Amino acid sequence: MPQFMSLEAQSLLRMLFKRNPANRLGAGADGVEEIKRHAFFSTIDWNKLYRTELQPPFKPAAGKPDDTFCFDPEFTAKTPKDSPGIPPSANAHQLFKGFSFVAPASLDDNKGSPLLSILPIVQMHGGSAQFSDLYELQEDIGVGSYSICKRCVHRVSAMDYAVKIIDKGKRDPSEEIEILMRYGQHPNIITLKDVYDEGRYVYVVTELMKGGELLDKILRQKFFCTVKREASSVLYTIPRLSTTCTVK
């Protein structure tokens, strides 16, 4: 145990790191209340903290996840270097003997349906970058039976896009992607920006359409017959678009 730590901190860590989970602090009938009563937290009024009546010691100036404002420039200015760890000793496998933990989320993922046998997904960016490297997810736009659509922001250009996150265990996205790539230049078909295949999920990035759902617009109209010109335009566009896709 590091000796530079306070006695209260050392006591807290010792009680949390018991080999037998049943003996760890908070494993009893009182649960988290047992942890909150520990001497290390004696200066905290938990009721005031819950009611957000306590002033924080400081407020970070970071505005985004990758903001390095709070880091010393002495380190952020350095060129990143690979620093391999020290080779493990012969008895390194004994280091965590007796400890075991399995994340519940991992168990839930394993219960999902197996991946479908699908065709290779064409990734337009042609590199090894992942979706989260270039885009930041925002609020939901729509939720379907096999996918969820969210607004996303490009980290460099700050442009808004839409991303459809498709579960490959529920649907083969290759045909949908092929259609978008083939007919994306049509004025009435959404433009495909990029595709990221990351194992179980495929991220399909497209332009963001802010008009909303057609059905929602129809339901908002109390007297839809008063906008016959708008309705006729929609009814003319949909069959024409279907014909274009069918013929080609």
E-strand ranges in 85-226 read 135-143, 147-154, 160-167, 192-198, 201-207
CA angle, 23 then 48 then 12, to 5°: 25
Beta-carbon contacts of 102 under 8 Å, excluding residues fewer than 6 positions away, are none
Any known ligand binding at 164? yes
CA angle, 16 then 18 then 19, to 5°: 140
Asked if 196 contacts 123 with a C-beta cutoff of 8 angstroms, the reply is: yes
Both tokens assigned to 140: 């939901």
Q: How many CA atoms within 13 Å lie on the side-chain side of 34?
A: 12
Beta-carbon contacts of 187 under 8 Å, excluding residues fewer than 6 positions away, are none
Phi-psi sector, 72: left (phi>0), alpha (psi -120 to 50), beta:
beta
Alpha-carbon span 238 to 57, nearest angstrom: 58
Asked if 206 contacts 147 with a C-beta cutoff of 8 angstroms, the reply is: no
Binding residues: 164
Detail the residues annotated as belonging to a binding site for ATP: 164
